[in-house]
Structure 1
Amino acid sequence: MVAGYKISSDTKQMDLSVIHGYLSGSYWAKGVPLSTMQTAVNNSFCFGIFTDEGQQVAFARMITDYATSAYLADVFVLPEHRGKGLSKWLIQAIVDDPKLQGLRRMLLATSDAHNLYKKFGFSALASPELFMELHRPDIYQKKV
């Protein structure tokens, strides 16, 4: 728990303007359309951190079947709220959530936060040769 903040997994509380505003400028979702982000939020198990006044300052979502596996995506804390332990609190809340217990595997991809996730048991793939991907990193920049 961090004084002055609360965590919620109620999708109705998620502020799509804050989420899209941050993610559309991120290195991993640059240019993501608002409609795409709305669909992603609607179809994911979302977590947000909010100030006591209700302003959303952090976000993460789990893409999951709630039975066997989950993928952690779109994790961020707004820059002005960093350095307060919010990212650790957010990841702990996700890993500890009762709906996510008993999963065989949780995955994530990150280029800059390995040390954060290692604190919660995440590690490099034990058998990376088993994993494949169809990766389209510039999909949001392509003209339709």
Structure 2
Amino acid sequence: MDYEFDDDPARIQPDVVWTYLSTDAYWGRWRSRADLDAQLVSAWRVVGAYRADTGEQIGFGRAVSDGVGFAYLADVFILPEHRGRALGKRLMRHMIDDGPGRDFRWVLFTGDAHGLYEQFGFAAPDATAMVRPSRQG
């Protein structure tokens, strides 16, 4: 099966993103559909992964940025039935290495997939980083 990766926001299928994030993702389930829709509209960059034959969206990643030197990566996923094909790596490459923020300082919060993110230069925070935990959940 062939796949395509695209950063066109108009191609994102919000129902696919919402279904995964509201049911399967361990992070951010406190969000409403309206919250997600607002995040999609205000995102600095979104990348979708799609089946080449049908156009069905099977993966997603979102970034928030100042557009100059900093970006926050969020909501990265590949649907379970499409995993094991290095699609997460391809999505990350499209989002970070091949995108306009390749030289930025990137951050993310994750409880898993550390091995994937380390391949793209993510590491434990250094002494310059501090985090104020969310009060939303």
TM-score (normalizing by structure 1): 0.87
Q: Counterpart in 2 of 1:136?
A: 135
TM-score (normalizing by structure 2): 0.91
- Partner-residue secondary structure (3-state), 1:93: helix
User: Does structure 1 residue 9 correspond to structure 2 residue 7?
Assistant: yes
Residue identity in the other structure for 1:58 = G
Q: Counterpart in 1 of 2:96?
A: 95
> Is the 8 Å Cα contact of residues 88 and 116 (structure 1) preserved in structure 2?
yes
- Partner-residue secondary structure (3-state), 2:100: helix
CA RMSD of aligned residues (A): 1.4
Structure of larger gyration radius: 1
> Is the 8 Å Cα contact of residues 7 and 50 (structure 1) preserved in structure 2?
yes
Deviations 1:59-118 (A, max 9, x none): 001111110100000000000000011001111111223411332x10001101111111
Q: Give 4+ residue runs of structure 1 displaced > 3 Å after superposition.
A: none
> Structure 1 residues 32-41 or 91-100, which shifts more?
91-100
- Partner-residue secondary structure (3-state), 1:120: coil
Q: Counterpart in 1 of 2:32?
A: 33
Equivalent residues in 2 for 1:1-144 (5 A)?
4-25=2-23, 26-44=25-43, 45-52=45-52, 53-103=54-104, 105-127=105-127, 130-138=129-137
Q: Which structure 2 segments of 5+ residues have no match?
A: none
Q: Which structure 1 segments of 5+ residues have no match?
A: 139-144
Equivalent pairs, count: 134
> Is the 8 Å Cα contact of residues 60 and 75 (structure 1) preserved in structure 2?
yes
